[in-house]
Chains A and B, each alone.
Chain A
Amino acid sequence: MHERPAPAPPAPGPAPLDRRLVVGGGVALAVLVGLAAWLLAMAFLAPDERFVVTDAPTLELTDQAGQPFSLASLRGHPVLVFFGYTHCPDVCPATIGTLNQVLADAGDGPRAVFISIDPDRDGPREMASYLKYLPTAYTGLSGSPEEIAANARRWGVKYAKVDEGSPDGYAMAHTADVFLVDAQGRLRGRYPFGTEPGPITAAVKGLLAETPVTAGPIATGPPVSTGAPATGAPSIPSAPTVVPTAAPSTVPGTSSPAIGDLRVLLVSSSIWAGPQTPVIVTLSEPDGTPLDGAVPVTARVVGANETAAGPDVPATTILPTGASRASYVATVRIPVPGWWRLDLMTPDGRRGGVSIEALDPGTSAAIGAPAPASDTPTLADVDGQLLAITTQEAPDLRFYQESTADARAAGRPYVLVIDSSRFRVSPACGRALTMTRYLIDRWGADVAFIHLEPFVYQVITSAPVLSGDIANPPLNRWTAAWGLGDAVWPATDMPWIFVVDGQGIVRAKYRSIVGTADIDVMLGVIEGQGVR
């Protein structure tokens, strides 16, 4: 695990957890450590300290009737909160099946809230139609892309479009955990996708026992006073595997901690300590009106005691083709890994801020420096023997036409995706490839997309076989050239994506989970498309 200084307080939601958990493939370890810590806490600590109970993040969206909805309106009821989309064929219905069981077993009182992270297809009408099939305890929420992004971020929920091969046929990848909120609006549990109904039912019953719920219509008044002081969560019988970091308390309806008078939404999925890292945000007025990019914005990285980490830098404004609002890209210097605050300022004195976590780059190819002078194998290099250069089951041939050297020689920007569908050293493996296919459709004419398998393997009787131990997989020379496989980011930390411009300079890099939105913006910056 990485020790990181904390120049600024932790930021929205549980986002840091996923980064830490994935580091070094330490998921199981983290779970074990968490479980051990929880058991210790149960044994030795006073009730108040057994479980860090924090207020649940706010939810401010539109319900299936088209009315404004606030999670606070469900005070007095335990609430199961999850994110999904109505076109979801497998994951969301499976979660709903689990929750239906929980609701049936726990009796009257609990509520369930389903938030769509597919704003392009789901509105109140779609949610209402979907809810016809569900018990009345459900509320279905939708909102504009900005509203959904802001709400999801507060909950540490990520999502991205995944290409399904047809213009409208996309799917969504998304955080599929179920959150449990108690009758006082506090976050009391988080259950990964696939959790059986039993533990969730037991936790809900525990909450019902500590706070009797009046059956009947959904409470819409002020928070119900239970008379009982907050006493931690001694009655929750199952330890959630992940206890989220406290989300900063927010003013209802705001998209980020209220710092200054501009609302800031962070788009970047990987931010790096070092001489330069691009940080992408969107900005809006307090009433939600997006800043259209006409106003110049400067950025400043702020550490502990309000100390600026470097000079103010101008942010580039960009409106990628098809995007509904402008993004601001600030290339900043962050001295050391850890939590910082990014302040955005306009000439007329308005200001907004957002907490950002800078990752330790280790020896990975530096942003702002020339990309490693390493080639990558193409289809032509292996006489069309696809299996020699990709373990994808249904390879997308567009990834194997051009090498990094070809792109560099042609002065073409490229996106290098280092990922393996077959040798899944982390559960994120294969995902970067799936996500990137969506970007090829948008940028394939101007930008080379190159897939590189990270590991040395042999093809034995038509099957790829790793040349070594999956716990310590051997990186091939092309991957090693990018500085991966060090103590900070070992070979088991996959996938990676590097974005390189037409001059061969590394402009962005991403590890583990990658959103398509920030790569899209970076390609816009590199291509000069949509730059204001």
Chain B
Amino acid sequence: MQARAVAILVSFVLAVLTAGCGSGGSAVASPASGGGAPPTIRDAWVRAAQAGGTSAAYLSLTNGGAAEEQLVGVRAADLTDTASLHETSSDASGMTGMSPVDSITIPAGGTVALAPGGYHIMLMDLKKELKAGDRVTLALTFKQAGEISISAEVRAN
């Protein structure tokens, strides 16, 4: 119980730090519902791209709870009908590609980063241009916590 309290405290401190970061930071999502401690979502951003193009969203997920949590789905209805979880990986020859993943597991007390070159949320066939500075809404579905909506900043890179 004490460990969990510490984890929550750490999340809170990080959240405050992030909130103080200015332009680079983004709001920390609050849980909508669900049992246990819902994951904390930080530093969500989406790469600028043209209408009809492809973009990706990145964020970090911290599971302050005592049980494993999984990110199992994502929606970005304003942007695309096809938002999906992907993982980029490289081989020894430098050949790099990505594969869809069903879920991303966040271990109890752990943090998983969706970052360039690794896990990401792929946004295909964009309905509109994403300009740096815009804000967009992403709805993340977790196995335990259910759906959590967050606001993400559009950045050039």
Contact = CB atoms under 8 A, between A and B. Distances in A.
Contacts of B48: 133
A412 interface: no
A265 B93 CA distance: 20
Contact of A164 (B49, B100, B116): B100
Interface in A146-180: 158-160, 162, 164-166, 169, 171-177
A394 B92 CA distance: 24
A331 interface: no
Q: How large is the interface on A (under 10, 10 to 19, 20 to 34, 35 or more residues)?
A: 35 or more
A21 B93 contact: yes
Interface string A271-292: 0000000000000000000000
A497 interface: no
A193 B117 contact: yes
Contacts of A97: 116, 156-157
Contact of A193 (B49, B55, B94, B99): B94
A90 B98 contact: yes
A476 to B, nearest CB: 23
A163 B12 CA distance: 41
Interface string B84-108: 0010111111111111111100000
B92 A90 contact: no
Interface stretch (B24-32, B34-42, B119-127, B136-144): B119-127
Interface in A28-74: none
Interface in B33-70: 47-50, 53-56
B128 to A, nearest CB: 15
Contact of A90 (B82, B86, B94, B102): B86
A394 B101 contact: yes
Interface of A: 17-18, 21-22, 27, 86-91, 93-94, 96-97, 100, 129-130, 132-133, 158-160, 162, 164-166, 169, 171-177, 192-194, 242, 393-394, 426-428, 430-431, 434, 512-513
Given A91-B88, A174-B97, A427-B92, 6 more contacts: A17-B93, A86-B53, A162-B98, A169-B124, A192-B90, A193-B96
6 contacts: A18-B92, A91-B97, A165-B100, A174-B96, A177-B94, A428-B95
